[in-house]
């Protein structure tokens, strides 16, 4: 986790997680912040600028809604990895 805000991930950390969870590379999609208040109704047409995942981006992820679209803002199909890594063993006995 980022040292700037303990417990809150940065975009570079989220990219690493996306590389594990999604079957397509992060160069094929990008997150966009949703601009609608509350639960977004039309995020494809009401979103902010793309968030750069391709360069080191240590910005803390701000709370809110995001939509994953193609790099130019077009809809994109993002398949989820069906072979998820096995869960980690507990490091502290319960």
Full-model pTM: 0.78
Does 76 fall in a domain? no
Number of structural domains the chain divides into: 1
So what's the pLDDT on residue 39?
87
CB atoms within 10 A of CB 23: 12
So what's the pLDDT on residue 92?
60
Does 20 fall in a domain? yes
Does 74 fall in a domain? no
Does 6 fall in a domain? no
- Compute the distance between CA of residue 42 and CA of residue 50 in angstroms, rounded to an integer: 16
Does 32 fall in a domain? yes
Question: How confident is the model over 18-55, as pLDDT tens digits?
Answer: 998 999 999 999 999 999 988 889 999 999 999 999 88
For residue 54, the enclosing domain spans: 11-69
Length of the chain: 94
With bands split at pLDDT 50, 70 and 90, how would you rate the model's confidence at 85? Answer: low
Does 53 fall in a domain? yes
């Amino acid at each position: 986790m980022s040292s700037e805000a303990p417990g809150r991930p940065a975009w570079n950390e989220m990219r690493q997680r996306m590389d594990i969870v999604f079957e397509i590379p992060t160069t094929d999609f990008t997150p966009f912040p949703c601009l609608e208040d509350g639960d977004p109704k039309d995020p494809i047409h009401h979103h902010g600028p793309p968030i750069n995942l391709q360069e080191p981006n240590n910005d803390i992820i701000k709370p809110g809604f995001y939509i994953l679209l193609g790099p130019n803002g077009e809809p994109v199909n993002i398949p989820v990895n069906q072979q998820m890594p096995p869960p980690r063993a507990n490091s502290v006995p319960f």
